C-alpha cells in the first residue's frame, strides 16, 4: 500500500519517488527518475518529466508540463496551464537532449496561469509571476513580474500581498503584519 493517492487514470512510472500525502489526479503522468516531495498536489493532465525535483507541498494545477531540468523548492505554486521550456532553440529535426537548460524555482514562489518560463532563468523565493507572463530573465526574491516579456513591477510578501515601501525602505504585509526591508534593490524579511 502506498502512502500517496493516485487516481486510477494517472500513469506512475517505476523509478520515481513520491512523498507521503501527495495526490496525483486524472490523466497525469509521473515519469521515472523524478522526485515529488510530501503533500504535493498534482492536478489533472500534468506531466512530470524525468529528473524533475519538486519539494514538499508543491501545488501543480491542471495542464502543466514540468520538463527535465526544472527543480522547485517547498511551497511552490504552479498555476493552470503554465509551462516551462528546457531548450532555447528547439527544432523537430535536431536532437538537443544534451542541451537542456536548468530552471530553479525558489521556496514559496507562485507562477500564474498560462505563464511561460523560458529555460535557464531562475525564479527567486516568494517571487510572484503574473498570469500570462513570459519570463526571459532571472526573477529576484519577492519580485512581482508581469507581461510579455515579464517586467519587474514591484514586490510581494510571503503571504502574496503587494508590498509598499516607505522612505526608509520598510514595508509591512497587510495580511500577516510581517516587515520587509528594501535595500540595494533586494528585499528581505526583517
Mean pLDDT on 152-179: 98
Pairing mode of beta strands 41-42, 59-60: parallel
Torsion of CA 127, 131, 135, 141, to 10 degrees: 0
Per-residue pLDDT at 178 exceeds 70:
yes
Could you tell me which of 126, 124, 113, 186 has the C-alpha nearest to residue 161? Answer: 126
Segment 69-110, tens digit of pLDDT: 999 999 999 999 999 999 999 999 999 989 999 999 999 999
Average pLDDT of the chain, as a whole number: 97
- pTM, to two decimals: 0.96
Segment 94-104, tens digit of pLDDT: 999 899 999 99
Neighbours of 120 (CB within 10 A): 17
% of residues, the chain, pLDDT over 90? 98
Residue 114 banded pLDDT, cuts 50, 70, 90: very high
Segment 12-48, tens digit of pLDDT: 999 999 999 999 999 999 999 999 999 999 999 999 9
Residue 2 banded pLDDT, cuts 50, 70, 90: confident
Rg (CA), the chain: 17
Per-residue pLDDT at 1 exceeds 60:
no
Mean pLDDT on 53-81: 98
Per-residue pLDDT at 64 exceeds 80:
yes
Mean pLDDT on 132-139: 98
Amino acid at each position: 500500500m502506498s502512502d500517496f493517492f493516485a487516481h486510477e487514470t494517472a500513469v506512475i512510472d517505476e523509478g520515481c519517488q513520491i512523498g507521503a500525502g501527495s495526490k496525483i489526479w486524472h490523466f497525469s503522468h509521473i515519469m521515472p527518475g523524478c522526485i515529488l516531495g510530501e503533500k504535493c498536489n498534482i492536478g489533472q493532465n500534468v506531466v512530470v518529466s524525468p529528473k524533475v525535483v519538486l519539494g514538499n507541498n508543491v501545488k501543480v494545477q491542471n495542464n502543466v508540463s514540468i520538463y527535465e531540468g526544472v527543480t522547485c523548492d517547498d511551497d511552490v505554486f504552479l498555476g493552470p496551464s503554465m509551462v516551462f521550456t528546457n531548450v532555447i532553440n528547439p527544432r523537430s529535426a535536431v536532437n538537443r537532449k544534451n542541451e537542456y537548460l536548468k530552471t530553479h524555482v525558489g521556496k514559496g514562489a507562485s507562477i500564474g496561469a498560462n505563464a511561460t518560463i523560458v529555460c535557464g532563468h531562475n525564479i527567486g523565493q516568494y517571487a510572484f509571476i503574473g498570469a500570462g507572463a513570459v519570463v526571459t530573465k532571472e526573477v529576484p526574491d519577492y519580485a512581482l513580474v508581469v507581461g510579455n516579456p515579464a517586467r519587474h513591477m514591484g514586490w510581494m510578501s510571503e503571504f502574496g500581498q503587494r508590498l509598499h515601501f516607505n522612505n526608509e525602505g520598510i514595508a509591512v504585509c497587510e495580511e500577516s503584519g510581517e516587515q520587509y526591508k528594501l535595500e540595494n534593490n533586494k528585499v528581505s524579511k526583517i
